[in-house]
């Protein structure tokens, strides 16, 4: 790989996940602060939310990552779907071309709902829906 390849690999394996985790924890802290009306200007008030969040992160980091990754992927897709539907409604009310966001939102809705209905860790409706009324 050479020196540049090693540097790029280290950046991709070490630095990118650390900055992504930092952003995720910061976003979660700010969302919780907004929900509960906790001001975030003082250092001590930030710790009120950071310590429990980091504790939850420590517990989650001990779980099987194949399961954690499935839930993360589904929630990420579902969040994108909700944002696309919200953007579609905004464009609709502004009398602009809302199809540009409604078509991908429809596709992502189908993907998210399919996973939720058929995955073993969710509703596990695979055989019940595929073969209704004993038609197997």
Q: Where are the domains of the chain?
A: 1-62, 64-136
- 6-28 burial, b for 16+ CB within 10 Å, e for fewer? eeeeeeeeeeeeeeeeeeebeee
Q: Is the pLDDT of residue 131 over 70?
A: no
- CA–CA gap between residue 89 and residue 91 (Å, rounded): 5
pLDDT for 99 equals 96
Q: What's the start-to-end Cα distance of the chain, in Å? A: 54
Mean pLDDT for all residues in the chain: 84
Other beta carbons less than 10 A from residue 52's beta carbon:
12
What confidence score (pLDDT) does residue 90 get?
97
Give the tens place of pLDDT for each residue, 9-37.
Answer: 877 777 777 777 778 888 888 888 999 89
Cα–Cα distance between 102 and 113 in angstroms, integer? 16
């Amino acid at each position: 790989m050479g020196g540049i390849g090693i540097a790029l690999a280290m950046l991709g394996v070490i630095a990118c996940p650390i900055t992504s985790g930092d952003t995720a924890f910061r976003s979660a802290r700010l969302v919780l602060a907004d929900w509960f009306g906790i001001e975030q200007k003082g250092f001590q008030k930030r710790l009120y939310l950071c310590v429990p969040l980091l504790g939850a992160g420590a517990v989650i980091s001990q779980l099987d990552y194949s399961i954690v990754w499935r839930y993360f992927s589904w929630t990420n897709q579902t969040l994108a779907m909700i944002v696309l539907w919200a953007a579609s409604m905004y464009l609709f009310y502004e009398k602009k071309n809302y199809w540009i966001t409604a078509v991908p939102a429809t596709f992502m809705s189908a993907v998210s709902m399919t996973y939720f209905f058929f995955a073993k860790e969710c509703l596990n409706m695979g055989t019940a829906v595929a073969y209704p009324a004993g038609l197997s």
